[in-house]
Chain A
Amino acid sequence: MATAEYKHSILWRGEDPTKTRFKPAYDGSKKVTRYRRGQAPEWAEEGKKVQKRQEKPEEDLRKAKRRRQAAAVVLEADSASSRLARLQRSETGEERKGETGTERLLRHRRIEEAVILEAEPKDEADVTEEKKEVLKEELDLDLKPGVAELSFEINEEDEDLEIRQLRREKMREKALSKRKIEEDVLKVELEEEQEEVAEESEYESESEEDDPRRGPLMKPVFVSKANRETVREKEMIEKEEEDARRKKEVRALERKAESKVLLIDKIQEEAEAERLAAEEDDRSDIELLDDDDEKNEAEEYELWKIRELKRIKRDKEERLQRQKEIEFVLKRRQMTDEERAKDDARLDAANPKRADVKQFNFLQKYYHRGGFFQDKAASGEEALYLRDYHEPLEEEKYDKNLLPKAMQLRRGEFGKKGQVKHSHLTDVDTTDMSAAWSQSSKVVQRYQEKMAAAKGVTNFERPSMKNRLQ
């Protein structure tokens, strides 16, 4: 669609402001709550609403906790979907219509449940059984609801520090006792895998909350500094770094030295070149050629004589040539026509025109010799001009009639950009050979002779009395 009205067309010029309804930027329906200094915001209600929220989701949380502990693998549904779900919920906001600020805060603080994928759907009975088992594992866990200190709640909104501290201590005691029980079992393992211990000793510093959830712990055994892997590793790394650094320094020094050497070489080279260039100047050339006339006087004299004689000869010849020309011109002026014809014949014989035209093969390429430098060709100075460029090539000796019609072209044409359909002129000759006048039969010949003014065309004899009288 190429109309201007269509939004995605190339002719679209934009929204027509007269067509759209005007929406003011200020929307009076929305109420903006202002913040004022000294005034508590609406959602900051003290106490009451917070407690209410606590009791309700307690059971849910405990259930969640159990499930987490029991399941081999707890997988969350992919974060995207859960996030999306949350967003959608937030957008619709059904539950939260009448919510106050406090409630919203509590809601935010509550951690959403993780969806278990691996654990099989269990019956109620199984769940309770599992619960018991889990509880048995976890020693001394109080199942009584409502006792905030002992129940393992993740509610971080417990602002009471003391309670939290007490809880922590209790957990620690529990963990310690557990370890003592399992110490014997693990002693054997310890001896085999001493390395793990190192990890375990670090393990100590991990958060307390993780402890009851982990499996059987290893007893941490002290490893002296010398034997500690970590320390050893650290030392190795440090040593390597140091080595690398030292090597780098050494290499840097080497490179410096190299570059210095290179620089020196380069400078030397340049100096040499400069010197040579300066020398290359007139001076050296001049000095090479000796200007001295004292040497080889006899030889010089001989050479001079030769030159002088040559010059004399040259002058004489020039004079002679000039003389001949004048003579020739005068003589020719005095000739009769006959003599001139004879003279022409003689001259032609003496200076033959271009050599006989070669017989060209079918579709042999013609080479034009060009209009310049033909004096050189005539005189024979330049050997290049004496070459015969119409000697057929190997591909031209080959009979091109055997080729398919498309390939019957001159050399260098087929398959190239310069290829044209035209091959040779007679190919496009449309002369009608069947015309009566173009036949070369006797009848036609006689007819032509009989035509007016055509009778004596081929007869070159002079009209004589003899013929007339006949």
Chain B
Amino acid sequence: MANRTDPDADTVHGANPQFLVDRIVRVKIYNDAYWKEYCFGLTTESLIDEAARLDYVAGTYGGRRRPSRFLCLFLKLLQIQPEEAGLRPRLRRDVVMEYIKQPELKYLRALGCAYLRITARYLTIYQTLEPLFADYRKLRYRDMNGKMSIIRMDEFVDWLMREETICDVLWQKLL
């Protein structure tokens, strides 16, 4: 009930947007404390606040594959679909674009990139993400074993464009 996709949301790639994340990972996120406590009833604005508190980019980590906050917010984005329906197509994705364009919160930018990558068409992806190669800010990254490391934003975007699996989410290959 609380985990239902917004009924106004459109399908993404022909399916429920939340299903873009694998079932196992999704269930793990639903059972996570952070999700239950903080991600409940988030809107696009409050999401910004939450994203501001992010510390690292990660998928699931550790022995029991705990979902990271980044991943929880990612799923939240998919759930609420921050595109305002009814607007003209040109104005859609405004919110996400804003997330990406803003220079202050780099983790929010990363989040936006990830969301864009999974939902948008490849033309949009190429057009939006390529300029971001210029951004070489540091991001903390937590790998599957839980080990922290530093990556750069441009590396992260590069992964988004090329890799099959980042942060425990399967991305469709770009052409």
Which listed residue (B133, B136, B138, B142) contacts A291, Cβ 8 A? B138
A291-B140, A300-B136 known; A307 vs B152 contact (CB < 8 Å): yes
Residues 120-156 of B, flagged 1 when their CB comes within 8 A of A and 0 if not, give 0000000000000100111110100000111010110
Is A349 positioned at the interface, with any CB of B under 8 Å from its CB? no
Interface hit among A282-290, A424-432, A441-449: A282-290
Bound together, the chains give a CA A329 to CA B139 distance in angstroms of 44
Bound together, the chains give a CA A293 to CA B152 distance in angstroms of 10
Is A460 positioned at the interface, with any CB of B under 8 Å from its CB? no
Q: In chain A, residues 305-362, which have Cβ atoms closer than 8 Å to a Cβ of chain B? A: 307-308, 311
Check A289 against B148 for contact (C-beta < 8 Å). yes
Check A303 against B158 for contact (C-beta < 8 Å). no
Is B56 positioned at the interface, with any CB of A under 8 Å from its CB? yes
B152 — which chain A residues lie within 8 A by C-beta?
303-304, 307
Bound together, the chains give a CA A386 to CA B149 distance in angstroms of 32
Is B55 positioned at the interface, with any CB of A under 8 Å from its CB? yes
Check A307 against B148 for contact (C-beta < 8 Å). no
Is A35 positioned at the interface, with any CB of B under 8 Å from its CB? no
Bound together, the chains give a CA A286 to CA B139 distance in angstroms of 11
A282-B55, A285-B148, A286-B55 known; A293 vs B138 contact (CB < 8 Å): yes
Q: How many residues of B contact A (CB 8 A)?
A: 16
Is A292 positioned at the interface, with any CB of B under 8 Å from its CB? yes
Is A373 positioned at the interface, with any CB of B under 8 Å from its CB? no
A303 — which chain B residues lie within 8 A by C-beta?
136, 152
Check B154 against A308 for contact (C-beta < 8 Å). yes
Which listed residue (A285, A301, A311) contacts B133, Cβ 8 A? A311
A304-B152, A307-B154, A307-B155 known; A292 vs B133 contact (CB < 8 Å): no
Which listed residue (A288, A290, A292, A304) contacts B154, Cβ 8 A? A304
B154 — which chain A residues lie within 8 A by C-beta?
304, 307-308
Residue on A with the closest CB to B147? A285
Residue on A with the closest CB to B69? A282
Contacts across chains A and B counted by CB atoms under 8 Å: 39
B137 — which chain A residues lie within 8 A by C-beta?
293
Bound together, the chains give a CA A289 to CA B152 distance in angstroms of 13
Q: How many residues of A contact B (CB 8 A)?
A: 16
Bound together, the chains give a CA A282 to CA B142 distance in angstroms of 10
Residues 30-56 of B, flagged 1 when their CB comes within 8 A of A and 0 if not, give 000000000000000000000000011
Check B133 against A289 for contact (C-beta < 8 Å). no
A289 — which chain B residues lie within 8 A by C-beta?
140, 148-150
A292 — which chain B residues lie within 8 A by C-beta?
138
CB distance from B60 to the nearest CB of A (A): 14
Residues 76-93 of B, flagged 1 when their CB comes within 8 A of A and 0 if not, give 000000000000000000
Bound together, the chains give a CA A288 to CA B147 distance in angstroms of 12
A304-B152, A304-B154, A308-B154 known; A286 vs B140 contact (CB < 8 Å): yes
Check B158 against A301 for contact (C-beta < 8 Å). no
Bound together, the chains give a CA A462 to CA B155 distance in angstroms of 67
CB distance from A297 to the nearest CB of B (A): 10
Bound together, the chains give a CA A289 to CA B57 distance in angstroms of 13
Bound together, the chains give a CA A289 to CA B139 distance in angstroms of 9
A290 — which chain B residues lie within 8 A by C-beta?
138, 150
B142 — which chain A residues lie within 8 A by C-beta?
285
Check A286 against B155 for contact (C-beta < 8 Å). no
A308 — which chain B residues lie within 8 A by C-beta?
133, 154
Residue on B with the closest CB to A308? B133
Check A286 against B148 for contact (C-beta < 8 Å). yes
Bound together, the chains give a CA A291 to CA B57 distance in angstroms of 12
Q: In chain A, residues 210-234, which have Cβ atoms closer than 8 Å to a Cβ of chain B? A: none
CB distance from B8 to the nearest CB of A (A): 35
B158 — which chain A residues lie within 8 A by C-beta?
311
B150 — which chain A residues lie within 8 A by C-beta?
289-291
Bound together, the chains give a CA A300 to CA B154 distance in angstroms of 12
6 closest A-B pairs by CB: A304-B136, A285-B148, A286-B55, A293-B137, A289-B140, A289-B148
17 A-B pairs within 8 Å (CB atoms) are namely A282-B55, A282-B56, A286-B55, A286-B148, A289-B150, A291-B55, A291-B138, A292-B138, A293-B137, A300-B136, A300-B138, A301-B136, A303-B152, A304-B152, A307-B136, A307-B152, A308-B133
Given contacts A289-B150, A311-B133, 7 further A-B contacts (CB under 8 A): A282-B56, A285-B142, A286-B56, A286-B140, A291-B140, A308-B133, A308-B154
